[in-house]
Amino acid sequence: MSERIYLCLAHMSGREQEFIKEAFDTNWVVPLGPNVNGFEADLEAFVGENKNVVALSAGTAAVHLALLACGVGPGDEVICQSMTFCASANPITYLGATPVFVDSERDTWNIDPELMEQAIKDRIAKTGRKPKAIVPVYLYGMPARIDEIMAVAAKYEIPVVEDAAEAFGSMYKGRVCGTFGQYGVLSFNGNKMITTSGGGALICPDEQTKREIMFYATQARESYPYYQHEHIGYNYRMSNICAGIGRGQMTIADEHIAHHRHTYALYKELLADVEGISLHGNPSEEYDSNFWLNTILLDPSLEVVGQESAYDTAVTGTVGGAAGVAHAAESLHTECEPNANVEAMRLALDAEGIESRPLWKPMHCQPVFASAPSYVNGVSEELFAKGLCLPSGPCVTDEQIRSIVECIKRSIRR
């Protein structure tokens, strides 16, 4: 292959430059302006349900502000899905609270509602207080069992913050993910369904709540002719430039979502006869994933060429390439890692210029959260051991998908 195939890269509509040029021409190069207002209006129309949306600097900022709005503070506990990216859990600690991690169920790979209720009961018994919020995640775009999650939340009167960062356009029973709970989180990072280069948004229940979120997102300033601060605020608003990119992206959002679902259908067709590999799909007709990333599980009995030496060489750099700077690995292994055949498959794809990646490592297995309470059933650890993400973005062609599957087949030891 002459060009490297990435998991999920942004694809421009051609209109982004129009909105950005307008921002420069009118000198709106600040964290507010016509593009921000327009992007928020576009998002409100997209999610529906009479929701209000605040455009922010990152999805992480949206989680943070949603938890703040739920009253989370020092000494509180927040239920959080364990199998997720760290951005779902880190903001809990920003507020001085403690994450309580809950494992997944097998159908959607998202938070297990029954285990979640057990965790709530146990936390009440142990601390005398119920958790302040619940953060379910739509893993790789797959809708969660959100009706059951909301029923448990209502029973104990705990607000829900839906982390729909990976689920832009995903639907459950015909309703957009991120609109079921009190708040919904969206992300527009460079690898998401649509991008603003970096950025996110918070779906709010009403206009008054939106204004309060905007207050905290713009450094919590009071109405005086000078800077008066009576609350701690944050510099979390999206810039007018980034919002211009978002407005351009919204013109092709439906095309992106359709393409991701098309890639799933093609992977499903091409992998159907590959024994030992399963592709994760919608559990039933009620679920309509955007398939942000297509994910496979490798049976432990499946032998992959080179698996006996898969962990012989230390990885340098970070997962996700130029996304960040990493400390050097202290050892070749950790206590919880993908199976050798999964790592061997990742290396085989990488050698052909194809980016793939293990599933999210569960938060309850992360050293930074070693002391956090957790309620586990083994599902997320099993998924992490067996799973791999495949290229799925709008720039991935049918021909490339066929090449990816052929590489997978060649890498299986006969």
Residues assigned a catalytic role: 192
The CA distance from 383 to 47, in Å, is 30
Tokens 């290396």 belong to residue? 347
Tokens 């060489």 belong to residue? 313
Tokens at residue 197, please? 């280069």
* DSSP H or E stretch at residue 184: strand 183-187
Overall residue count recorded for the chain in this entry: 414
| 24-59 residues labelled b (16+ CB within 10 A) or e (exposed) | eeeebeebbbbbbebbbebbbebbeeebbbbbbbbb
CB 350 within 8 A of CB 76: no
* DSSP H or E stretch at residue 42: helix 34-47
The CA distance from 78 to 67, in Å, is 9
CB 393 within 8 A of CB 191: yes
DSSP string, 244-301: HHHHHHHTTHHHHHHHHHHHHHHHHHHHTT-TTEEE---SSTTEE---SSEEEEE-TT
Tokens at residue 82, please? 């364990």
